[in-house]
Amino acid sequence: MREISLIEGPKPGDVEATRTEKPAPRLIAHLDMDAFFASVELLRFPQLQGLALVVGGRSKTIMQQMQQLQAQYGALESIAVAQMPRLRQYQGRGVITTASYAARAFGIGSGMGLMKAATRCPDAILLAADFERYREYSRRFKAVIRDQGLSLEDRGIDEVYIDLSHCASLEQAQALSRQLQSSIFEATRLSCSIGLAPNKLLAKIASDLRKPKGLSILTHASIEEQLWPLPVSRLHGVGPRTATKLLALGINTIAELAASRLDDLQRHFGSSHSRWLIDASWGIDERPLVLSSEPLSISRETTLERDMHPKQDRRELGGIFTQLCHQLATDLQHKERLCRVISVKIRNDQFKTSTRDVSFTQATNDPAQLRHWASQCLKRFPFDRRIRLLGVKAAGLTSKQLVTASPVGPKSDPHCEGMYSESLVANGLEQSQPSAPVQHPLWPELEPEPTTPEV
Ligand code: DCP
Ligand code: MG
């Protein structure tokens, strides 16, 4: 058997590379389910196997149509394919949550508007999302991994990092990964892809190299051959904005990024972001696994029925915003969590998504408190366009007991202790974009008075 050789490579121009002690070699697996929502749907609609299928949002029309078909045919698997809803029939503003691989061949995929997708693949079958069902399958596949005694970092509904550093060789890790794929398939009838690498950054890229049912290895030895030819956007953390800026600098591939000079990048991206970009291009990532089953954040968001004007639709928006905060508070209370960070997300009519967040020391799950902090974030948006989507997220979660026992007591004025930051978000990847807070006299006018903190 070959010994694992996955030790972090030296950083270019990094003085720390001269240090004598080597970090302990790690072996990390990134496991990602294949076309997750679509695959879960195929389990109950086997007649759609191999066809172009997209899962949309919670369209009432589609759900009613499916209920009628179920009543008519008796069982979901008996429904004639010809009778099922098609993308071309869809009218509305919903987006694709996922598309089957057959549908992706038409150039459609997650995040694309359903009506736009209909122009590319009008005959694709369209199903409404059933999030409760996807969460159940998510629990099941993660349970299979945990039942094998493996430590995992939960990264969301269909992906986890697994620590395989205990494996004596790469071959052993590969065998274990194959076995995991089989066990997950046996338990759920769903397939997944796994990437094996010395760190999370490379493991995440590796799991995407051979989908579906892939098992890929990405070590420092193969960076030149496997990592460098890829476009910079494949680095998890390089969003469309950064990718566009890099392209303007003539940097398209990860190899070009690796060959670029730190001081050149720093003129455009700032110091730590530039350092991160160079490190990432060399496959360097020392982030530890966060081996907790705790949720990292809880969020609520809604795509508005129509694009709303921040001023003219102020009352309606205020009501929707308050409702989101109340729903978020209920979610936190059900999970017995308090939060110390609130973030507000706004997508405008040009699909540009921005977030503003605020952190505070007095953890809370009180709806009025959440609304108060969310309003503080709201004040810092420029509001120069109509609004398409509105979201509120709670992060910095702690359990209620932990906070009660915490030595940090309530501050006399919890509204003066917020720390603010902001970002532009694209495809879920955040890019820091600091700027001065902009005071705005909009929806905060509707803000209810915060109640006394409950802790
Ligand atoms: N998802 C979503 N909205 C997005 C992206 C994804 O609701 N913009 C949901 C649907 C996906 C699931 O999350 O099924 C997992 O996302 P992935 O990016 O892992 O995509 P898939 O699992 O669908 O496909 P792949 O096989 O490429 O992983
Ligand atoms: Mg997936």
| pLDDT at 229 (0 to 100) | 98
37 lines ligand 1 (CB under 6 A): yes
| pLDDT at 415 (0 to 100) | 34
Please tell me whether the overall predicted TM-score, pTM, comes out greater than 0.75 for this model: no
| pLDDT at 24 (0 to 100) | 67
| pLDDT at 294 (0 to 100) | 60
pLDDT digit string (tens) for 96-123?
Answer: 999 999 999 999 999 999 999 999 999 9
Nearest atom in ligand 1 to 129's CA: 7
pLDDT digit string (tens) for 231-256?
Answer: 999 999 999 999 999 999 999 999 99
33 lines ligand 1 (CB under 6 A): yes
Active site residues per annotation: 159
Region 379-400: mean pLDDT is 90
Distance between Cα 318 and ligand 2 center (Å)? 35
Cis peptide before 444 (omega within 30 of 0): no
pLDDT band at 292 (very low <50, low <70, confident <90, very high): low
| pLDDT at 440 (0 to 100) | 41
- The answer for residues whose C-beta is within 8 angstroms of residue 157's C-beta and 6 or more apart is 36, 134, 135, 138
For ligand 1, atom 20: residue with the closest CA: 35
Q: Is the pLDDT of residue 354 over 60?
A: yes
Q: Is the pLDDT of residue 132 over 60?
A: yes
Higher pLDDT, 76 or 8: 76
Pocket-testing residue among 97, 204, 213, 299, ligand 1, by greatest number of atoms within 8 A of Cβ: 97
Q: Is the pLDDT of residue 18 over 80?
A: no
434, 422 contact by CB (below 8 A): yes
For ligand 1, atom 21: residue with the closest CA: 35
Torsional class of 378: left (φ above 0), alpha (ψ -120 to 50), beta (otherwise): alpha
Q: Is the pLDDT of residue 205 over 90?
A: yes
158 lines ligand 1 (CB under 6 A): yes
| pLDDT at 25 (0 to 100) | 86
| pLDDT at 432 (0 to 100) | 30
| pLDDT at 303 (0 to 100) | 87
- Cα–Cα distance measured from residue 235 to residue 274, given in angstroms and rounded to the nearest whole number: 13
pLDDT band at 402 (very low <50, low <70, confident <90, very high): low
pLDDT band at 404 (very low <50, low <70, confident <90, very high): very low
| pLDDT at 179 (0 to 100) | 95
For ligand 1, atom 23: residue with the closest CA: 35
- Cα–Cα distance measured from residue 209 to residue 441, given in angstroms and rounded to the nearest whole number: 48
